[in-house]
A and B are shown apart, each in its own frame.
Chain A
């Protein structure tokens, strides 16, 4: 039973800080209606339970499946199979991602239908599939991450120049949206499965990472090419808004449940189908192991449904209300500080962050401590959310004023930090922008945007996820730099 308690404890440490901040805010500067606070607290409990179950499920289900399929693919020794499998896997995983559908619907709406929902979903999924294939090929052919990222981001840069500025935000957001709570652990495990085979343990360690990062570029390229092809002009239309009508405390949790369960089921389906095909062809799992990974998938499903339910029903209203109320205060310093603070703590409650930290520990035999990765991520996201709030307050700042410099720092940094950290850094960009950010923090920013005069929910709503996906690139590479300097001294 201690295993369960340990997981619960690990999760508690990461979720409690969020609850504490909101409760403290409630009793100080932004009193919330009692029913909202209760809903939030119930949501917190459900999130803790859900996240614990989900992480267990990832441990015994998704990770072994991804590892086995990755190794299996590499062992075929046929590049055609690796590339084809990468394409198909990337495509179906992305197409099944609920976050992508939400984003695509919003884009459809704000472009008044000139870029249809289907076009976005297909565009992003094709991009992601191509990049997963490329990422896998990179591992088996030992091509350096530096080269891949430099070339790919150069292409992104050129295409970004051609695209309209508003679409730039959407495209970078989509890179966060496609790498959700289920796909990230799976893609991470896939990469690990291939690189685990390597004889050179140093290469095996560093090639375990980077695939998520490469995959996210696929999403960016997908959306950008959609924009260039369809040639959209200004964004018009309006975003739908969540109503806060319900006074009930318990009901919203049940109301959200069917939809959330359906979304998670669809997202899980590609992994399940892949598993069945893999098992059918290669019989890679023993009977007992097969039963176990199925149970793991089931646990992941239950856990993620609970988690998402808790977040959507319990956290979203509170997020946007806190954002609105704090931003309405006279001193704008509050909203900046609280935004950064929330960013600092929420990222640790992202499911994929736990998975990434565990894989880092395993790949490096505990050499890179999870706490250090966590702190670096927290600092990165705090800066990201802080800057996003600043963008609301100061009308002149455009998204690319942030993105361009941050990538201009991140890319050259690659050439001085150890390659292991490059992969980790670019992966964590996709990892940090999970369901917690996409709901709670996004709601907070949108709430704040409503309270700030001149800020538009539409333009400023997009772009926050892009920020969250870009600051970890720098934060974790700096951690890598520190490691490099430290170990050199000791040697």
Chain B
């Protein structure tokens, strides 16, 4: 694990909130000089014995991704925190990831990046695992065993080099699940290796894992 990621002046803000609040988050953020965002649907894991008995293991979430410079990102995430009360349980989480540049938006230019900002106050990493549809919950299980507190699952499609195929007249891509897990840096290694072992990620076609360092988090509960 690299404890000292390159700090940049640009960040991706991820906000994961309950279904229906995504547009509100984006709307609010836009008032504070965020120029745009992308919303997609996911499912957040739940831990509740009673619900689990009835087969309810997740609830619908919306994930909002917005790009901005670090200063704005810090401000916006604080404002969103005040507004949506991430500190309370079940009110959602927010975190930022460093990016090298943002294209397609006149406000941000990649060549202005100052990479010397060395301070690293990151405590958390984002582990993203992409596996075949239906395997997501096993990823969550493996991660929980190693100490992760929760996960967000997003339905997706995708394929490795040998996976695209054609049935009838339609080209198909296998269905996948993307699992986002935020963990403390200390246990990142454990969680990753637990997922690797359980899901046999090292065999070809079983999925991929990648880890990113998170700059700032809100709403994570121990």
Contacts and interface: CB of A to CB of B under 8 A. Distances in A.
B55 A141 contact: no
Nearest to A76: B167
Interface string A280-309: 000001101101110110010000000000
A365 B23 CA distance: 12
Given A79-B168, A365-B40, A366-B41, A2 B90 contact: yes
B187 interface: no
A3 interface: yes
Interface stretch (B46-54, B99-107, B191-199): B46-54
Given A74-B167, A295-B55, A3 B172 contact: no
Contacts of B157: 196-197, 199, 201
A142 interface: yes
B177 interface: no
Query: Which interface class (under 10, 10 to 19, 20 to 34, 35 or more) fits A?
Result: 35 or more
A56 B62 CA distance: 19
A196 B175 contact: yes
A2 B59 contact: yes
A16 to B, nearest CB: 19
Query: Which interface class (under 10, 10 to 19, 20 to 34, 35 or more) fits B?
Result: 20 to 34
Given A71-B175, A286-B134, A365 B170 contact: no
Nearest to A139: B170
Contacts of A76: 167
Contact of A142 (B22, B46, B169): B169
Scoring A139, A141, A197, A293 by chain B CB atoms within 10 A of each residue's CB, the highest score goes to A197
Nearest to A198: B170
Interface in B94-147: 134, 137
A197 B46 contact: no
A22 B54 CA distance: 35
A1 interface: yes
A455 interface: no
Contact of A1 (B48, B164, B169): B48
Contacts of B171: 198-200
Nearest to A137: B168
B169 A141 contact: yes
A199 B164 contact: yes
A72 to B, nearest CB: 11
A60 interface: yes
B186 interface: no
B173 A199 contact: yes
Scoring A6, A199, A203, A293 by chain B CB atoms within 10 A of each residue's CB, the highest score goes to A199
B32 to A, nearest CB: 22
Contacts of A71: 175
A121 B90 CA distance: 49
12 contacts: A1-B48, A2-B90, A3-B46, A3-B59, A60-B54, A74-B172, A75-B167, A142-B170, A197-B174, A198-B173, A199-B157, A199-B172
